[in-house]
């Protein structure tokens, strides 16, 4: 089953949830504040993130980490996300541990509707 990772008060997450619900796409939502990912789960997502977009380097949560974005690497990315899970670019869609997409756009989410 599709899983959306995010926080419920994020405007982008709200749009993505509304889009999937309006198109009757079954998914589960995982609130990163109530059900944080563990070290293994974050490491798995980081390893699959070929785009380097898993961390939102423009957000306040990332700035709290105090790491310049030029110095991000898989090791310190893991530490950032463990300490500041809301530094993740939202939403992230996964299925059975596989990273499917980062962020929201109707074009990307169309693939979930056409399943």
Instruction: Round to whole Å and give the CA distance between 76 and 24.
Output: 38
> Is 10 marked active-site?
yes
Catalytic residue (one of 10, 25, 78, 82): 10
Measured in degrees and rounded to the nearest 5, phi and psi for residue 98 equal -90, 130
Quick one: how far is CA 50 from the chain centroid?
14
User: Nearest to residue 108, comparing CAs of 9, 6, 12, 8?
Assistant: 12
Catalytic residues: 10
């Amino acid at each position: 089953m599709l899983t959306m990772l995010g926080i419920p008060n994020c405007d982008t997450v709200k749009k993505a949830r509304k889009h999937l619900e309006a198109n009757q796409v079954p998914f589960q939502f995982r609130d990163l504040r109530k059900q944080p990912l563990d070290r293994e789960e974050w490491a798995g997502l980081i390893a699959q993130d070929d785009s380097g977009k898993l961390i939102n380097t423009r957000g306040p949560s990332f700035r709290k980490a105090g790491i310049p974005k030029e110095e991000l690497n898989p090791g310190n990315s893991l530490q950032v996300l463990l300490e500041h899970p809301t530094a993740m670019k939202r939403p992230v869609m996964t299925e059975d541990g596989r990273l499917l997409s980062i962020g929201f756009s109707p074009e990307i989410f169309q693939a979930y509707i056409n399943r």
